[in-house]
């Protein structure tokens, strides 16, 4: 399975391991997988999660509040919990369902959402991250650069009006991220760091894709329903 992982997905696993070590835990659970996905260098999953206005620090605090800190080993091999292994399997299934031959960080997020139980599920609730909306945005991030022959679901309907203000807030957060990434990309180009500029351009495309989905939802919520058509008299 790990042979299918993109570099970003591999980094998310490494970050999950480091988060577990830093918290003194002796395993990699779903909570650590979620923390690993919040890191800025893991691509579409990080953009998706951050679009809810949640930072890595806030997510880490939520993990500590949920499971506490441990006094486990700070080095050496740390095993995955059975539930975390199931998440990895679900990420593979999510990729296959979309006809993708690779597993990216977005697929790992889909695997966490599809698991629906365990520490990560509790953290979604604590952090006010709607799993269904996270799934949709992760797919939008995947759509930013789909591989040849991939198939992706069409856009969903507009959100309930109660979610309108939240979608606006999240769109503003994505706009802020976009501004930061574009400034960093321009700086990398000025310094001749082509590799960094290319990586930032990829992140820019992902942010644009996720924001585009949000803006469609906002526009749909603002559009009044069409009046009923008048029936001609008999």
Q: Which two tokens stand for residue 164?
A: 């309108």
- Beta partners for 174? none
Asked if 209 contacts 152 with a C-beta cutoff of 8 angstroms, the reply is: no
- pTM, to two decimals: 0.66
CA distance 21 to 145: 33
Residue 5 forms beta bridges with which residues?
Answer: 103
**Among 17-21, 58-62, 68-72, where is mean pLDDT lowest?**
68-72
C-alpha span between 204 and 5 (Å, rounded): 21
- For residue 201, give the nearest of 225, 216, 215, 183 by alpha carbon: 183
Cβ pair 90, 110 in contact under 8 A: yes
Residues in the chain: 234
What confidence tier does 111 reach under pLDDT thresholds 50, 70, 90? very high
| 83: β partners | none
Dihedral over alpha carbons 98, 104, 107, 111 (to 10 degrees): 140
216's enclosing H/E stretch is helix 194-222
Q: Which residue in this structure is represented by tokens 């659970």?
A: 29
pLDDT class of 89 with cuts at 50, 70, 90:
very high
Percent of the chain with pLDDT over 90: 39
pLDDT digit string (tens) for 139-157?
888 876 544 333 333 344 4
66 pLDDT exceeds 90? yes
Is the pLDDT higher at 73 or at 55? 55
Enumerate residues 6+ apart whose C-beta is below 8 A from 32. 16, 17, 19, 20, 23, 25, 63, 84
């Amino acid at each position: 399975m790990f042979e299918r992982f993109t570099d970003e997905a591999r980094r998310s696993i490494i970050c999950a391991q480091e988060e577990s070590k830093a918290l003194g835990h002796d395993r990699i659970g779903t909570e650590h997988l979620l923390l690993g996905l919040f890191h800025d260098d893991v691509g579409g999953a990080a953009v998706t999660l951050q679009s809810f206005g949640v930072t890595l620090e806030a997510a880490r605090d939520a993990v500590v509040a949920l499971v506490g800190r441990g006094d486990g080993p700070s080095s050496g091999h740390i095993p995955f919990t059975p539930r975390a292994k199931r998440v990895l399997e679900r990420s593979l299934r999510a990729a296959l369902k979309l006809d993708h031959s690779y597993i990216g960080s977005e697929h790992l997020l889909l695997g966490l959402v599809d698991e629906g139980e365990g520490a990560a599920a509790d953290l979604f609730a604590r952090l006010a991250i709607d799993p269904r909306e996270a799934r949709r945005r992760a797919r939008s991030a995947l759509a930013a650069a789909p591989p040849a022959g991939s198939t992706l679901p069409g856009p969903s309907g507009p959100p309930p009006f109660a979610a309108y203000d939240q979608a606006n807030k999240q769109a503003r957060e994505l706009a802020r991220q976009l501004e930061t990434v574009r400034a960093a990309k321009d700086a990398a180009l000025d310094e001749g760091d082509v590799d960094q500029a290319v990586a930032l351009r990829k992140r820019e495309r992902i942010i644009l894709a996720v924001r585009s989905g949000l803006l469609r939802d906002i526009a749909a919520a603002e559009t009044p329903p069409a009046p009923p058509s008048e029936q001609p008299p008999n």
